[in-house]
Structure 1
């Protein structure tokens, strides 16, 4: 069961679109008439935030009749959410629910494609996503990547230790930092320490120093395969993660290198899912 967004999030979504009521529905005098709304996929889709879309409709005064949960894969023509209510309630919730469903399900669908491609060549690989989601959308984005079968790489700066060159620059360089790595690990024994390397040479040096995970960025797959073999052979307790430019087209190739983790941001960006909303009196 995926997590649910808070009531305050639902209220915020609605308030953004209907801050002072629905002028069109009010002037047409149709607000009290009864009707239904349905949401139907136009292509193969992995659903996300159906629960939140349903809560939007309910908060606007409609009654949910049927719903499929986030994470469900549906084919074109599948009606996965339906509600009934007054025209005022349906029109207030229509676009808010639709926008949420399309953007969230777009992320979930792209994520599922990457996960499927990656695990076609390495069934045990972990696919995780960065914190590069568009500001203000993290709750929706994280729920959606989880609906697609991935996990978050890190939710923010507060709970993970990931050391970049931008950090070691303040410590006198990578070598000076690695000299103190044992002390860093001892100061946070419940956390894994991840250190990013710019080259294969740095990656091996970091692994030898005792990092829990070595992360490499934008390394070509053929070089990565050699590095993965060396690290797993010489430092079997160290995990290797690959980041930078990974998407559905190259995920299988990167997964086949033998890395343990794929880190990506690409699933956050792309076309929304194509979902048809139909309102009937």
Structure 2
């Protein structure tokens, strides 16, 4: 069971998306063609197989324009679904429902696409013991929702922002003068609950990092032989995260190297929208 995001965190995103679509005068097509008190029943149906995420976005989009709408959810975020399945039924003021349609589908389709791609990666490495994680390569304003969708697909969340963990990247290392010096400074500044991760791009940098005992070491663009060597060098004393060059063709081999985590930017920056439609009942 995926812990849902509270509505209060979703509503601002939905409200901004509706405001963008409604513009300065509202839905002039619905106002011109549909009686003000007309009602419409419809279903949200999935047109291709995938994994669902974002049903609350669709519900809140409809309710924002018609608080009296009835929205019946028939699937749960994280469910695998097949083409033709109905995700939700809705009955609402017709003008309101059609005005909310695109916002609801944009968010539901986008998040379900992220969840579906994540699930594909998770399935490919099944049995290896490695886990798939996301990155900060997210759509501005949608990070918390896209990372929720990753969880719906069976993945892990990396840090949410710059403030919830120390992640020393290659440019930080360059600015500090070396991996060891960067880790010394990070350790001195970190509170007792703050994790420290450092990115390394060679076995030599890994060797330099290990005595400083960071919580996580990111192995950036290591080939399979070097990944296996890194796992042997670490000896299980630190979490190893592989990153860079990860796709559906390479991820199984990376997972079989023995690393614990594989971070994949594509989960959020390259996921295709899952095809979902709203059809009058």
Please report the TM-score for the alignment, with normalisation by the length of structure 1.
0.90
2-structure distance, mates of 1:243, 1:60: 43
Residue pairs, 1:229-268, within 5 angstroms:
229-232=232-235, 236-268=236-268
Q: Are the equivalent residues in 1 in contact too, given 2:168–2:182 (CA < 8 A)?
A: no
Quote the residue 1:15 is aligned against: 19
SS state at 2:162 partner: coil
**Structure 1 pair 211/51, CA: closer, same or farther in 2 (3 Å)?**
same
- Tell me the alpha carbon deviations over residues 134-162 of structure 1, each in whole angstroms, 9 at most, x when there is no partner: 22221221111111111221100111011
Residue pairs, 1:19-98, within 5 angstroms:
19=23, 20-61=25-66, 62-98=69-105
| 1:161 aligns with one of 146, 162, 166 | 166
2-structure distance, mates of 1:67, 1:13: 24
Shift, 1:42, TM fit: 1.4
Quote the residue 1:3 is aligned against: 5
1:278 aligns to 2:279 (yes or no):
yes
1-structure distance, mates of 2:135, 2:51: 20
210-219 vs 221-230, greater mean Cα deviation: 221-230
Shift, 1:102, TM fit: 0.9
1:144 aligns to 2:145 (yes or no):
no
Please report the TM-score for the alignment, with normalisation by the length of structure 2.
0.90
2-structure distance, mates of 1:72, 1:13: 25
1:196 aligns to 2:199 (yes or no):
yes
Q: Are the equivalent residues in 1 in contact too, given 2:125–2:255 (CA < 8 A)?
A: yes
Q: Are the equivalent residues in 2 in contact too, given 1:216–1:241 (CA < 8 A)?
A: yes
Quote the residue 2:137 is aligned against: 132
1-structure distance, mates of 2:34, 2:57: 28
2-structure distance, mates of 1:31, 1:70: 33
Shift, 1:276, TM fit: 2.4
Matched residues, number: 273
Quote the residue 1:213 is aligned against: 216
2-structure distance, mates of 1:237, 1:185: 21
- Tell me the alpha carbon deviations over residues 24-66 of structure 1, each in whole angstroms, 9 at most, x when there is no partner: 1111243422221211111211101101211111222132133
Q: Are the equivalent residues in 1 in contact too, given 2:14–2:103 (CA < 8 A)?
A: no
Q: Are the equivalent residues in 2 in contact too, given 1:245–1:266 (CA < 8 A)?
A: no
Quote the residue 1:223 is aligned against: 226
Shift, 1:203, TM fit: 1.1
5+ residue gaps, structure 1, are: none
- Tell me the alpha carbon deviations over residues 51-82 of structure 1, each in whole angstroms, 9 at most, x when there is no partner: 12111112221321333221111111110111
SS state at 1:36 partner: strand
**Structure 1 pair 217/40, CA: closer, same or farther in 2 (3 Å)?**
same
**Structure 1 pair 74/203, CA: closer, same or farther in 2 (3 Å)?**
same
2-structure distance, mates of 1:176, 1:64: 56
SS state at 1:170 partner: helix
